[in-house]
Structure 1
Amino acid sequence: MPGVGGEPYGKDYYQVLLQEQEERYLTRATNLKRQIAQLKQELQEMSEKLKLLQEKKTSDLRGHLGTKDQEPNDILEYLHSQIDKAELSTGVKLPSEYAVVPFESFTATRVFQLEMGLTRHPEEKSVRKDRRDELTEVIEAGLEVINNPDEDDDEHDENGAILPRDAYHENDFIEGLYRTEKDKGTQYDLFYKKENSDKYRHVTLFRPFGPLMKVRNAAIDTANIIINIVVPLSGRTEAFARFMQNFREVCIEQDKRVHLTVVYFGQESLTEVKTILETVSSETNFFNYTIVPLDEEFARGHGLDIAVRSWIKGNVLMFFCDVDVYFTADFLNTCRLNASPSGFDLDVKGWGVEDVHLYRKFLHSELIVVRTPVAGLFHLWHEKLCADELTPDQYRMCMQSKAMNEASHAHLGMLVFREEIESHLLRKQASQTINKPAV
């Protein structure tokens, strides 16, 4: 990779990068081991408590009533133990800065976050209903603590008399911090202040996580679930040859429960694509593929619809795949375990948007949308060309995708400041030349 001014980065640069990456992996492994140990300990404790509860439930009526009285106490004891384990008053020694669980800050209308998510903005409105309801509940709970304090929280004058308190309201909330420790709960630090006053009220709340509860226990047989992998294509024969190499290793040699449908637009390179398919078929004895030639302009949504309609063998799971996508056999099983039918927007021409329309259909339905990284799915980098024929929304999304994948943030920054860095280097070299003693 070229460095500033076109010069390659030195060996030390890559050694530092490798060392930093190794430290991050070691830190993550240490944290995971610690969390696993904590979870095992908690699981053992809860198993013992559940065993005691089950023994009490099988006793006589009097013992059964005693169990009913005891259950709330057991749960309360568990929740208090979660509070004791959280970093509320005393910090925990951490191996490095990578092990810190960060806080997010918020006001009555904004959330300021490190993990920027889909919006890619550090500041956002509380558009998610669950987060908005959560923070509203927390702010109101903080007001309840201030306005209706326990006896221990009362303030007294010199004579021991209880001082009167001002009533606080929602508009007195200034800001808050919160963070979630995955194995303990969520901590909230809230700050309130009356107008024209320099006195703040600081309230700390904690929402402990309860014990695990069974929701579902079902068997899923994936042995006979066939996946029809659909690839819309126009040109890109080199990319298709690379795709077929991965398809051969993963689908034909490992998974063996797939069908491949290639929808090819146009006549250019169609013969080459057929040759690639026939070569793989003859070498591996694989015949579960279909090629659908279309002599028309590339339209991904339309191509996917044609592929679906060309399938005549009953219900099948469709994996709509790009030619630049690399996947593993484990990912195919992930598809089998998480699948629900719906439909694409067939009117979209060219690049993008049709998958966003499908995603929004899911959001507006009663289906549960699972948005998560998938370990066995990768999009291989390739130069992205954004055609003039795209609609403004498609072109903007195409350019946004191009910007996100063109280079790293640091490398783009180095390109922006390249002239400044080179000018500094020239000044230093000139200064050294002037100050060099004459021989």
Structure 2
Amino acid sequence: MKTDAIEGQSYISERHVPIFTRFDMWHQYQVSSTQNMDVRDKLNGLQRMCIDEVIDEAVTFINSTKWRRDHFTEGIYHTMPTLGTHYELNFLNDSNHRERVTLFRPEMPVIPLKSHPVDFSEKLNIVMPLSGRIDTFVLFLTHFEEILIKMKNRIFLTIVYFGKSMQDLLNVFQPFIAKHRFRSHHIQLVTDRNFSRAYALDLGIKSWKGKQDPIVFLCDVDIIFSQEFVDRCMTYPQKKSRVYYPIVFSLYNPKVLEAYFNQKLTKLSDKLKVSSDYGLWRSFGFGMACIYRSDYLNIGGFETGIKEWGEEDVLLYKKFAQSKITVIRAPDPNIFHLWHHKHCDQSLSDQHYKSCIKSKTYNEGSHMQLGYLVLKEDINQDRPYKRRLH
């Protein structure tokens, strides 16, 4: 059966032929459909342990006086669902003799571990930093309204607003409050410092006055989400046990999309599509999270003194990753990051300025779309090129 799993396979389509991941002692090389994935990754702790085990098993299998572990040169592997992982390892010894070893790690049977009821009576506190951007906040309220109607008294909105006055905010928020009789909210005005996302989120989380230990959703104003996401936000976290870090789908620059599709995308619903034509998974972003308030406080919270771009999110994520709390990290098709102009401050360090520019370029458009804009003059506009490009 193990031999059958790796030999003599036929496929309905050439696209079904598996692509192997190549590896050596330090790195692995893999093909990914996500444009922001590295083409070469360092082997992490668990990957390295797995590869070391496979190499040792191969050396034991072919062992004689002429083969040692350091004779391993490279290998490839791919995993077959329900079957296991197929490895091919290459060795080259001091006498210039070569050996290829085929190994198979079988899939283990499914083992139920535990189950527990999900308590949907918990409070969800959405904490949002805000400085200006009132038009974007109005758009947020439009989508938040649908969730509020379903969630009733189980949802709380905390806004930490930076500015001399919050009158502009109240002008759009008070009609919303009156319409829905929405009392479960708190606005914290910050007048004595420049905008700081870490400071705002930390202040918003600590400003909670209720007796419950709520689940906190760290949210930005340019995030759109649905009830399905809220359900996951309240399902995955477990007190002292798990936190949820969704991978957000980040939408491309609408001007790039309109130029590529040669049509106006006037409605937001025209853009909220999980498709490589419309955006990408923001796997490099750690800003959105669903966490019990007590777990946030116990882990030490944000480093509020950090001024570099994006670093506070990563450091909080690292705190959880390096603790005994399990981090649930997965793509979530019901939470979107709206495109907006990103300013990369010249005062940033070289490393953080480069990271900011990298993030900015990823979010402009796909390789195909940006390539089309560059080569637009070379493409015959009278031809049905879009059918050929897709």
What's the TM-score, normalizing by structure 1? 0.67
* Superposition pairs of residues 76-225 of structure 1, within 5 angstroms: 81=1, 83=2, 86=5, 88-97=6-15, 99-115=16-32, 120-126=37-43, 128-147=44-63, 167-197=66-96, 199-222=97-120, 224-225=121-122
Deviations 1:373-416 (A, max 9, x none): 11221111112122335454443332221011012112223444
Aligned pair partner of 1:333 in 207, 222, 231? 231
| Paired AA for residue 123 in structure 1 | R
* Superposition pairs of residues 2-81 of structure 1, within 5 angstroms: 81=1
- Indicate if the aligned counterparts of 2:36 and 2:362 stay in contact, CA closer than 8 A: no
- Indicate if the aligned counterparts of 1:300 and 1:348 stay in contact, CA closer than 8 A: no
* Superposition pairs of residues 344-359 of structure 1, within 5 angstroms: 344-349=302-307, 351-359=309-317
Return the structure number with greater relative CO, CA threshold 8 A, min gap 6: 2
- Indicate if the aligned counterparts of 2:11 and 2:17 stay in contact, CA closer than 8 A: no
- Indicate if the aligned counterparts of 2:20 and 2:78 stay in contact, CA closer than 8 A: yes
Q: Structure 2: any 5+ residue segments left out of the alignment?
A: 238-291, 381-390
Partner of 1:298: helix, strand, or coil? coil
- Indicate if the aligned counterparts of 2:20 and 2:77 stay in contact, CA closer than 8 A: yes
Aligned residue for 1:54? none
- Structure 2 distance, partners of 1:277, 1:91, is 61
Deviations 1:5-62 (A, max 9, x none): xxxxxxxxxxxxxxxxxxxxxxxxxxxxxxxxxxxxxxxxxxxxxxxxxxxxxxxxxx
Count of matched residue pairs: 317
- Structure 2 distance, partners of 1:183, 1:113, is 21
Partner of 2:76: helix, strand, or coil? strand
Q: Deviation of residue 230 (structure 1)? A: 0.9
- Structure 1 distance, partners of 2:329, 2:319, is 14
- Structure 2 distance, partners of 1:103, 1:132, is 17
Deviations 1:242-275 (A, max 9, x none): 011111112x11222211111110136x322112
Structure 2 CA distance for partners of 1:211 and 1:362, relative to 1, 3 Å: same
Please say which of residues 296-305 and 240-249 is displaced more in the overlay. 296-305
1:386 aligns with 2:344: yes
Structure 2 CA distance for partners of 1:241 and 1:216, relative to 1, 3 Å: same
- Indicate if the aligned counterparts of 2:344 and 2:356 stay in contact, CA closer than 8 A: yes
Aligned residue for 1:322? 220
Structure 2 CA distance for partners of 1:211 and 1:291, relative to 1, 3 Å: same
Q: Higher helix fraction: Structure 1 or Structure 2?
A: 1
Structure 2 CA distance for partners of 1:173 and 1:225, relative to 1, 3 Å: same
Q: Deviation of residue 119 (structure 1)? A: 8.2
| Paired AA for residue 187 in structure 1 | H
- Structure 1 distance, partners of 2:158, 2:197, is 13
Deviations 1:312-352 (A, max 9, x none): 11221111100000111121121222224221111123742
- Indicate if the aligned counterparts of 1:94 and 1:100 stay in contact, CA closer than 8 A: no
Aligned pair partner of 2:173 in 260, 269, 277? 277
Aligned residue for 1:370? 328
Percent of pairs identical after alignment? 32
- Structure 1 distance, partners of 2:348, 2:137, is 24
| Paired AA for residue 136 in structure 1 | D
- Structure 2 distance, partners of 1:299, 1:348, is 9
Aligned residue for 2:201? 304
Aligned residue for 1:265? 162
Q: Deviation of residue 96 (structure 1)? A: 4.4
Q: Structure 1: any 5+ residue segments left out of the alignment?
A: 1-80, 148-164, 426-439
| Paired AA for residue 300 in structure 1 | R
- Structure 2 distance, partners of 1:302, 1:363, is 21
Structure 2 CA distance for partners of 1:85 and 1:286, relative to 1, 3 Å: farther
- Structure 2 distance, partners of 1:201, 1:351, is 49
1:294 aligns with 2:190: yes
- Structure 1 distance, partners of 2:47, 2:309, is 33
- Indicate if the aligned counterparts of 1:298 and 1:349 stay in contact, CA closer than 8 A: no
Partner of 2:326: helix, strand, or coil? coil
Q: Higher strand fraction: Structure 1 or Structure 2?
A: 2
- Structure 2 distance, partners of 1:366, 1:134, is 21
- Structure 2 distance, partners of 1:117, 1:381, is 18
- Indicate if the aligned counterparts of 1:172 and 1:192 stay in contact, CA closer than 8 A: yes
- Structure 2 distance, partners of 1:249, 1:390, is 39
1:411 aligns with 2:369: yes
Q: Deviation of residue 367 (structure 1)? A: 1.4
Structure 2 CA distance for partners of 1:414 and 1:117, relative to 1, 3 Å: closer
Deviations 1:71-123 (A, max 9, x none): xxxxxxxxxx5x2662x1112223341x3332001122321111398983212
- Structure 1 distance, partners of 2:308, 2:197, is 6
Q: Deviation of residue 235 (structure 1)? A: 0.7
Structure 2 CA distance for partners of 1:352 and 1:412, relative to 1, 3 Å: same
- Structure 2 distance, partners of 1:129, 1:116, is 24
Q: Deviation of residue 171 (structure 1)? A: 2.3
* Superposition pairs of residues 221-240 of structure 1, within 5 angstroms: 221-222=119-120, 224-240=121-137
- Indicate if the aligned counterparts of 1:85 and 1:184 stay in contact, CA closer than 8 A: no
